[in-house]
Amino acid sequence: MPTSPAGKANNRPGRVASARGFTLIELLVVVTILSILALGVGFGAGGGFARTTNTPRAVADRLAEAMTRARDAALLGRASVGVVPRRDGWLLATRDADGAWQTVAAPVAASGVTLIWQVAGAANNPSLAVPLAEATPPVLFLPDGRSTAFDVIVAGGGGQRAAQIACRTDGWEPVTCD
């Protein structure tokens, strides 16, 4: 194999080869491996970088946002949207073509907190069961912008740091939380 004069000078017997460094591919492989290891350590130590917190404040904020979306869906879709209270969250429902109530998605559940619902001035003791198709959800958002009046207390934290946040609506105003 032909070699350049500079290459012949570097390959003389007794001469130590100079340090060549790393190629770009080698550097990319090392950076990729280190990134994967860092992600593994981050998920293992912290449970994920962007995990959902279930503090009473976070759940109350998610509840207010979900109720605003339910009201918007009722207004824009010109159809009632129901909310089924649960001790650990809530469930959204709409009517199907036959007029039966069907769940929209999986129940929204928040572990570590308890939701205490009061619907239309009466205590509501929700279960964790999915409602029957012929049962009307206790909380309704109507196409004209009204809703059933309700109060929800989000309680959690336990011990001396127990927190309670109250969320409410009178049926005309959006849901607000303390």
Contact 59, 156 (CB under 8 A): yes
Position with higher pLDDT, 135 vs 18: 135
**Tens-place pLDDT, residues 61-78:** 999 999 999 999 999 988
- Measured between alpha carbons, how far is 52 from 2 in angstroms, rounded to an integer? 64
Q: What is the pLDDT at residue 134?
A: 63
**Tens-place pLDDT, residues 80-132:** 999 888 888 888 888 888 888 888 877 888 778 888 889 888 887 666 555 55
pTM over 0.75: no
**Tens-place pLDDT, residues 119-170:** 888 887 666 555 555 678 889 999 998 999 999 999 886 544 568 899 999 9
Phi and psi torsions of 14, nearest 5°: 90, -10
- Measured between alpha carbons, how far is 171 from 141 in angstroms, rounded to an integer? 9
- Measured between alpha carbons, how far is 104 from 102 in angstroms, rounded to an integer? 6
Beta bridge partners of 39: none
Q: Which of 173, 145, 153, 152 is nearest to 72 (CA)?
A: 145
